[in-house]
Structure 1
């Protein structure tokens, strides 16, 4: 069962803020230079739809949704295999799945958005 976005995301943000305040830096395991952040309200509407589907457990538009995301590019913080899962964010007028995805980290309940097929990610900030 996923924790509702508002509660789970505030906890993840608080943990990151604590790490910053204590150490003054973020280690490579906590964040990567290619990972930024984005306000939940700034996401495209289709990403909101995807997040809602994730919270509801589906049904998803693609058979690949919910599969393990391997993080082969090494952009997201390193985690054990199976930690991340990917979901399609519908791209209007695209004949394929397109390049947009939500990638979830199940243990900490973090959600990442990519609009460029895994080249960069933005941690979704549900507090703004």
Structure 2
């Protein structure tokens, strides 16, 4: 192998390492995007939760999980009631339960660590239940959404692309 080939291989390895690191870190850049308007200082507003990557023409929007250690689930694979709750969240309410929208403190420590007030919780109605049931959606101010079918014993990040 020539010296030039060694350089090309080294460059390719470095690029692969950088791409893997960027994927693993996701959007942990300390973005100053306003979670309500989606605006960045001096930037144009985008709805909260809108993927910020630039997709190829005709490609699905770019979405990276907030934490690769948390399993994900397609939005369309959730119960219909979860879709209703996601619609209410996108519209800003009104919510059917007084507790919807309150701060979720992440006491279980299963979601990525953030300051208090970063996460909020919403009820997903359970047919036949005479109370709020165990199903919840938890949102983060950077737009991420998490599904819990078992009252915070486990979480899956909701993939909005599918």
For normalisation by structure 1, the TM-score amounts to 0.78
Deviation at 1:32, TM superposition (A): 7.0
Indicate conservation of the 8 Å contact 2:48/2:143, yes or no.
no
Corresponding residue pairs, total: 111
Structure exhibiting the larger radius of gyration computed from Cα positions = 2
- Alpha-carbon distance in 2 for matches of 1:92, 1:61: 14
Deviations for 1:88-123, whole angstroms, at most 9, x for unmatched residues? 0000000110000010001x1001010000011111
Higher relative CO (Cα under 8 Å, sequence separation at least 6) belongs to: 1
The answer to which structure has the higher strand fraction is 1
**Match status 1:116 vs 2:157:** no
In structure 1, stretches of 5+ residues that fail to align are 18-29
In structure 2, stretches of 5+ residues that fail to align are 1-35, 38-46, 54-60
Runs of 4+ aligned residues of structure 1 deviating over 3 Å after TM superposition are: 10-17
Indicate conservation of the 8 Å contact 2:63/2:161, yes or no.
no
